Amino acid sequence: MRALVLELVEGETLSDRIARGPIPVDDALPIIRQIAEALQAAHDQTIVHRDLKPANIKVTPDGVVKVLDFGLAKLSVSAEAGGRPPSAGGLDTLPQTDMDAGLKN
């Protein structure tokens, strides 16, 4: 039997949170930091998200940020290209699945 098991992430999307009104700086900074850390963790594994938007970011009730929907992500082959930043020609498509790169505080 084959199965794909995904984490159920409780909370609201960043898109929903933004729709409620401005986010105070003291609340926004930890969110921004966690998004950057999640993307860095993906980039460290040569994964480029390619669909980062507020609807693909969830904030759990305890403030943990999860970057969702890596369905359009690509693997960077930039290391083979002399360490240059990834470009459209230097990416390979990942399998179509959600991968969670969210990090805890």
Listed by start position, the domains of the chain span 12-93
**pLDDT tens digits, 47-103:** 887 778 999 999 999 999 998 876 567 788 765 555 555 444 444 444 444 444 443
CATH 1.10.510.10 assigned to domain 12-93? The reply is yes
pLDDT of amino acid 45: 77
The span from the first CA to the last CA of the chain, in angstroms, equals: 36
Task: Please give the backbone phi and psi of residue 29, each rounded to the nearest 5 degrees, phi first.
Answer: -60, -45
Q: Is 92 a catalytic residue?
A: no
Strand-by-strand arrangement of the 65-67 sheet: 12-13, 57-59, 65-67
Q: What angle (nearest 5°) sits at the alpha carbon of residue 2, between those of residues 60 and 103?
A: 25
pTM: 0.68
Strand-by-strand arrangement of the 74-76 sheet: 47-48, 74-76, 91-93
Structure tokens at 68: 């969702």
Catalytic residue among 27, 44, 51, 69, which? 51
